[in-house]
Amino acid sequence: MSATVLLLTHHACLSHENSEDHPECPARLRAVLSALEAEEFATLLRDVAPAATEAQLMLAHPRDYVEAILAIRPGPGRFVPVDGDTGMNHATAEAALRAAGAGVAAVDAVCSGSVARAFCAVRPPGHHAEPATAMGFCFFANAVIAARHAQAAHGLSRIAILDFDVHHGNGTQAAVAQDRSIFFASSHQSPCYPGTGDTSETGVGNIHNAPLPPGADGAAFRAAWAENLLPALEAFAPELIVVSAGFDAHARDPLAQLRVREADFGWLTEEICRIADRLCGGRVVSLLEGGYDLHALAASTAAHLRALMA
């Protein structure tokens, strides 16, 4: 029996631009959306991502930070750098609102029971955005906002955030490290940007990091999850699983040196869904994070969606 899966996106996410020749570019999202036009994905439910409200953004960020980011609205053709590799054009604020809002709408959909799972095909990504700092191509902590919205609006008490992006989700970890109600597990390359994610970083017992050395392959990736992170997830017994789905651990990706393949992402997604079916009514919300080789990104996203839909 196949699961009903909602796909959320918004055209504003195609208009956000970083600096010229930046790897986090609109072509990434176009590649993902093109792959999901294949016949095998015809049963996806599709909807437009709403804009998050400022109150929803403040589930993960202080008011002054939210207001400062949203106030940056350059005119057409202009670009405002926020840090060394993160910047904003005329569409960025709207795209960031839609990216965060997609996670909120996805949570509403799975918690209402109208769909089993949801995937948010959005950019800019979110897992490097710390509570008061934009960095690493990210402005708002989309996964954290989704998790806290599930608690605030739907009364859930235990949310898990799982992150398999090749870069450690320092922003997610910073936001939840003192919050026992949110579990965070991450596999990532180390050493690598942003330099966080050591196994010694455990928060209040809710943080589980599995750093992988450059060159680690799919077998090492699977072992990290099967032997370490997934057992910890099961022990936590979440009521909802939020996934930071970055596909830059792929062997073709130019920004890091892991050797994961699309089949490995598919395997992990299947394992996540099995645990979700057993522990939390199948509820999984996935949000696109990294992935910078267009072919690998499209193929890996397709593998991820096949598993979500199974």
Give 35-70 pLDDT, tens digit per residue: 999 999 999 999 999 999 999 999 999 999 999 999
Mean pLDDT by 10 residues, the chain (310 residues): 91 94 97 98 98 98 98 94 95 98 98 97 98 98 99 98 99 98 99 98 98 98 99 98 99 98 98 98 98 98 98
CA–CA dist 160, 171 (Å, integer): 15
- Residues 242 and 282: beta-carbon distance below 8 Å: no
pLDDT of res. 146: 99
Fold for 5-309, please state it: Arginase; Chain A (3.40.800)
| Domain boundaries along the sequence of the chain | 5-309
Is residue 3 within 8 Å of residue 310, measured between CB atoms? yes
* pLDDT value for 1: 55
Residues marked active site are found at 128
> Count of alpha carbons within 13 Å of 105, Cβ hemisphere only?
24
CB 159 within 8 A of CB 150: yes
The CB density around residue 286, as the number of other CB atoms within 10 Å, is 27
Tell me the two tokens of residue 93. 């604020």
CA 92-70-297 angle, 5° bins: 30
Contact 126, 177 (CB under 8 A): no
Euclidean distance between CA atoms 172 and 206, whole angstroms: 12
DSSP code of 182? Answer: E
Q: What is the dihedral angle through the alpha carbons of 227, 119, 36, 306, rounded to the nearest 10 degrees?
A: 40
**HSE on the CB side for 7, CA within 13 Å?**
21
